[in-house]
Structure 1
Amino acid sequence: MSRVTRRALQWGAVYLGLALLPMAVVLARPPDEARGLGVEFGAMLGLLALAVMALQALVSGRHRWFGATLGFDNLLQFHRRMGLVALLLVVAHPSVMLVSRPAWLDYLDPREETLRALTLMGLLLATLLLVATSLWRLACGLSYERWRALHGVLAVAVVGGGLGHALMVGHYTAGGAGLLLALLIVMSLLLVAETRLLRPWRLRRRPWQVVETLPVRGEATTLVLAPVGRHRLAFAPGQFIWITLGDTPFQLQQHPFSIASSAERPERLAFTAKQMGDFTATLPEVAVGTWAFVEGPFGAFLPDARNPSGAVLIAGGIGVTPMMSILRTFADRSERLPLWLIYANPTWEEATFREELEALAERLRLEVIHVLDEPPEEWQGERGLVDRDLLARRLPADDGRRDYFICGPGPLMDAAEGALIELGIAPTRLYSDRFDIV
């Protein structure tokens, strides 16, 4: 069992225990009034919904003690799926209770108790809005910064309002059970405060500065940062950072980027991004001298230089950036493990870093395999998709120890993962780096 799998199982057990803890406490000392199986089941769904919503702050908060070895992209996917689970629980909670006791529909009548009715409807609407704007941010016309602010406000409102609703009902939350539930919610809000307030406060003491803005092939831009002062950022090749550009770290503009530079040269920090979103489109205009604040490093996209079987790197487009950090670092360390890079692009002109990859192949035991969708007429290399046939033809037989790292557009990653599994590669030896929030 890999280290990442083992840690995922351990933290999964902790997560499940925390999610079920409020239910376990109230069921340990049930109230005297019996309200029927349907009503009680609906109440349990409500407690579970509130616990899951509270735990979202833990999953998405980039806490190193929690997700350092899991990979933030994996946590992000889990966060999104649990958001959908929370939505289903929030909808199921009143639905089951009202089906069991139709007379309680009066609670939703604003003519009876206006504040209570509006609170219940507001909680449901806020949860729907929270999930919908997360799944369809671009369709809603929200910039990343505005979505981030809205997401935070709605999340705090739903969790805080849910706690207030549970305490006001009081059937299960009287006494110690209510105190435990309140403690869980307060811990969640404290995690939010640590992420949004305390971390930027600490980052302001460790500023960086843009020292180079370089256009690169494939409509991409490389920004090179240098520390202002004597501090450095120790990172492993393949990791990523969150970056805020500007005079202060207290901004909604904070974006994740894979580090592209060598871990052996911490006096310079480089990342490369293609002009695809609202923020990345502005990178070519970033002036030298602009201040930056760096949070990190994060990520478990880490090849083992001690593995004699080496590693296979599969990249699509600008997804090559973490691979560049890996290759540059290994070259600076004179590592001799065998490496294969399968690099897919629409055209030859969009193959970012292709000249440097040729030079790195001379310094490393590296085979670079370019794959083009629209190759030029004289092209003699691979063309089409990264599929099972291509991988079987160009990669050596798997020995049960080699690791596989994949980064790029979602369709390429899905296809590469499926093809490798078809070839008998264990999923525990597949490492995928997925981000689609910038």
Structure 2
Amino acid sequence: MNLGWLRFTGWIAAWMALVLLPMAIALAGELPATRTRLKEAAALLGFVGLGLLAMQAVVSGRQRWFARGLGQDDLLQFHRRTGEAAWLLVLVHPLAMFAADPSQLAWLDPREDLLRAGSLWLLLAAVSLLLATSLWRQQFGLSYERWRALHGVLAFGVVALALGHVLLVDHYTAQAWKKVALVVVVGSALWLTVETRLRRPWQRRRRPWTVVDVAPEPGGATTLRLRPDGHPGLAFVPGQFAWVTLGDSPWRMQQHPFSMTSPADQAEIWFTIKPAGDFTGGIASTRIGSRAWIEGPYGVFTWQPGFAPHGAVFVAGGVGITPFLSMLRTARARRGQDRLWLFYANSDADSIIAREELDVLARELPLRVVHVLDDPPDGWTGEAGHIDADMLERHLPAEVGTMLAYVCGPAPMADAVEPVLLERGIPAKNLYSERFDMV
């Protein structure tokens, strides 16, 4: 994440205000008779839980109006942690209610009220399944596509059930205006889910793309080149990504986020994709001439010529080179003069994506490329091992603290490199990072 403290504080304050809005509605106007402290606390926890559940649609990363200034990996980590908190509140709320008033255990008895008891059990089961499949998707054996479909259905159902429960209890929500206000607030969150999954594909149906080239890359990666079909294309800033769907329909579940690797100033868009155990394993067999659909651009991991007058440091691991390829290709097209350093870590020499082009870029730009291999071949004259403080010391100038720094790759690499860059004097506000643990 790369936000100043003031802006970050404002973002958190806005998020908290929206989370607490259902509770604020419940406490506004005429209040019901006061019950025991534990029972009132349990009831208000339920409203906070409803707010947290509703806000999950807002902090999913697909709402650019709310995600402005935040990296996708930061947003998704926030989404996961707040989802866990929502599950905890959904669990604590009834337990505290039962502790305060054991007679309310009858609410769970379907013989007393089948609809009420059934909806409560369904809500608890759905939110638990939602959390479990999000945290342990691979352990459940769910492909990304099936998980994504399940996640959308469960998320919508959980929020709808929680809203229905609050309205039916009719304690704090006895007044009609409160019911209407809660329906509007929580219904807006439900609409965001529908808008993302249904309305956006409907809008994209008139903006198809055509696959015009499928080129193999080192390390098993593949570069897809897409051309806009009947529309001007997509404007983006180098380093951003888009959600890509391959196939005849934009409604397919096989929608994945990939960084653009093409220069920013052209209609054709390129994506370099490495197999990751899901549908990406079949990317290399994509048929030229087939349809594709693009939603974007997203992301704040961006750089373009002139953005870093004192220079920039790029650190990539494996396929984490993709956003930097777009940045460097754009710099070449625009005749950029920013001083650049690229540290590119790979397992071996055969895994280096665009190696020959990087050599050309190093000659055409004020760019220094430092390849780092875990398993270097005989005769290797570059760096070996891992990127550390000593390696950076050998290659970076003394004034590195005035530069911008970008790190993109596996989480262990980013976790190791970021502290080193900060120690070298690069301010946290000038450090941009994206990790490969989004899904």
TM-score by length of 2: 0.95
Question: What is the DSSP-based 3-state SS (H/G/I as helix, E as strand, rest coil) of the residue aligned with 2:277?
Answer: coil
1:137 is matched with 137
2:154 is matched with 154
Q: Which amino acid aligns with 2:251?
A: F
Question: What is the DSSP-based 3-state SS (H/G/I as helix, E as strand, rest coil) of the residue aligned with 1:60?
Answer: coil
1:195 aligns with 2:196: yes
Q: Which amino acid aligns with 1:406?
A: V
Q: Which amino acid aligns with 1:393?
A: R
Q: Within 2, Cα distance between the matches of 1:16 and 1:200?
A: 30
How many angstroms does 1:425 deviate by? 2.9
How many angstroms does 1:195 deviate by? 1.1
Q: Within 2, Cα distance between the matches of 1:300 and 1:32?
A: 47
Question: What is the DSSP-based 3-state SS (H/G/I as helix, E as strand, rest coil) of the residue aligned with 1:247?
Answer: coil
How many angstroms does 1:9 deviate by? 3.5
| 1:355-381 per-position Cα deviation (integer Å, ceiling 9, x unaligned) | 111100011111111111111132222
1:278-289 map, 5 Å? 278-289=278-289
CA contact (8 A) 2:2 2:69 kept: no
CA contact (8 A) 2:304 2:331 kept: no
How many angstroms does 1:304 deviate by? 5.2
CA contact (8 A) 1:244 1:251 kept: yes
1:372-411 map, 5 Å? 372-398=373-399, 400-411=401-412
2:260 is matched with 259
Question: What is the DSSP-based 3-state SS (H/G/I as helix, E as strand, rest coil) of the residue aligned with 2:398?
Answer: coil
Structure 1 residues 397 and 95 mapped into 2: Cα distance closer, same or farther (>3 Å)?
farther
Q: Within 2, Cα distance between the matches of 1:209 and 1:5?
A: 43
RMSD (Å), alpha carbons: 1.9
CA contact (8 A) 2:2 2:431 kept: no
| 1:131-185 per-position Cα deviation (integer Å, ceiling 9, x unaligned) | 1111111111111111111111111111010011111111111223222211111
Q: Which amino acid aligns with 1:354?
A: R
Structure 1 residues 341 and 6 mapped into 2: Cα distance closer, same or farther (>3 Å)?
farther
CA contact (8 A) 1:260 1:270 kept: yes
TM-score by length of 1: 0.95
Q: Which amino acid aligns with 1:377?
A: D
Question: What is the DSSP-based 3-state SS (H/G/I as helix, E as strand, rest coil) of the residue aligned with 1:59?
Answer: coil
1:339 aligns with 2:340: yes
1:19 is matched with 19
1:92-131 map, 5 Å? 92-131=92-131
Structure 1 residues 437 and 69 mapped into 2: Cα distance closer, same or farther (>3 Å)?
closer
1:220 aligns with 2:208: no
Q: Which amino acid aligns with 2:320?
A: G
1:46 is matched with 46
CA contact (8 A) 2:127 2:158 kept: yes
Identity %: 51
How many angstroms does 1:399 deviate by? 5.1
| 1:37-72 per-position Cα deviation (integer Å, ceiling 9, x unaligned) | 111111111101111111111122622322243233
Alignment length (residue pairs):
437
| 1:220-243 per-position Cα deviation (integer Å, ceiling 9, x unaligned) | 101000111242211111011111
- Can you give the 5+ residue segments of structure 1 that lack an aligned partner in the other structure? none
Structure 1 residues 354 and 116 mapped into 2: Cα distance closer, same or farther (>3 Å)?
same
1:434 aligns with 2:435: yes
CA contact (8 A) 2:347 2:374 kept: yes
CA contact (8 A) 2:401 2:425 kept: no
- Can you give the 5+ residue segments of structure 2 that lack an aligned partner in the other structure? none
1:30-69 map, 5 Å? 31-60=31-60, 62-69=62-69
Structure 1 residues 332 and 174 mapped into 2: Cα distance closer, same or farther (>3 Å)?
same
